[in-house]
Amino acid sequence: MAKKGLSERQKNILAYIQEYVAEFGRPPTIREIGSAVNISSTSVVNYNLTKLKERGLLERDAEVSRGLRLTDKVVETTGQAREAIGKVAEKVSTAVTNMFRVPLVGNIVAGSPIEVGNGDFSVYDEEDAIELSSSMIPGRHEDLFALRVSGDSMIDAMVNDGDIVIMRQENDARNGDMVAVWLSDDTTTLKYFFREGNKIRLQPANPTMEPIYVDREEVQVQGKVMMVLRQTA
């Protein structure tokens, strides 16, 4: 029985990888592929990459973030549908140009506050950055920054240890916002924010942990969570 042809989704993925490598000299990440071909689930991207690997069109190194390599067989396969893939590649090229970089500036603890000194998150090199599509966060991008999460106090909010949160710089917050805050005792933490009288309640999203209550003047909001990037093994 002849093998079923590539799905449109798989053709789109191949086209995107080809265009990305041609422009940047390196393979795209799983998230970049998903964003470009309109797949929100990384597991669906991984499924299709596995199918492409099974067809001999792709080689993968699961231990490396950009561990993708197209095989020589791709030229033969995609050549049969060059016109269709060319149209996809044009759309993909537009998606790539709409990518922007968010600086990864340090760690934030989703747990007990951690001492950092003066609320300074800057422990990463300037070159560290997260690449996102403009469609993922509409609006201004110049005041965004990223933090890597340590701890599990926000697990019920789907924020796990090792995840990355994309923050927008903010000095204030509304009740219920998930924020990064600096406390007057030189500690930082990631929590839900609530005003209660003359106190601020910093609420974890973990039923095994207690909220933190502090005076209003002892809290400095540094950023509001805009999105969470799940880190998968």
Helix (H, G, I), strand (E, B) or coil at 145: strand
3-state secondary structure labels for all residues of 200-222: EEEECCCCCCCCEEEEHHHEEEE
User: Known catalytic residue: 199?
Assistant: no
Closest CA to 181 of 128, 218, 143, 130: 218
Q: What is the pLDDT of residue 95?
A: 52
Q: What is the pLDDT of residue 91?
A: 55
The angle that helices 8-24 and 82-97 make with each other, rounded to 10 degrees, is 60
Q: Which two tokens stand for residue 210?
A: 């207690």
pLDDT tens for each residue of the chain, 233 residues long: 445 678 888 888 888 888 888 777 778 888 889 888 888 888 888 888 888 888 888 887 765 567 788 787 765 555 544 444 455 555 555 555 567 788 888 888 876 665 554 444 544 454 567 877 777 787 788 889 998 898 889 999 999 888 999 999 999 999 999 999 988 888 889 999 999 999 999 999 999 999 999 999 999 999 999 989 887 65
Dihedrals phi, psi of 60, to nearest 5 degrees: -130, 140
Place of tokens 């005003």: 195
What are the residue ranges spanned by the domains of the chain? 8-97, 99-229
Q: What is the pLDDT of residue 119?
A: 44
How remote is the C-alpha of 159 from its chain's centroid?
12
Q: Which of 122, 153, 184, 199 is catalytic?
A: 153
How remote is the C-alpha of 9 from its chain's centroid?
22
User: Known catalytic residue: 153?
Assistant: yes
Q: What is the pLDDT of residue 117?
A: 45
The third-level CATH classification (topology) of the domain covering 8-97 is: Arc Repressor Mutant, subunit A (1.10.10)
Interatomic CA distance for residues 133 and 101, integer angstroms? 9
Interatomic CA distance for residues 62 and 55, integer angstroms? 17
Q: Which of 93, 191, 199, 224 is catalytic?
A: 191
CB atoms within 10 A of CB 178: 22
Q: The whole model's pTM is what? A: 0.56
What's the CATH number of domain 99-229, 3.40.50.300, 3.30.930.10, 3.80.10.10, 2.10.109.10? 2.10.109.10
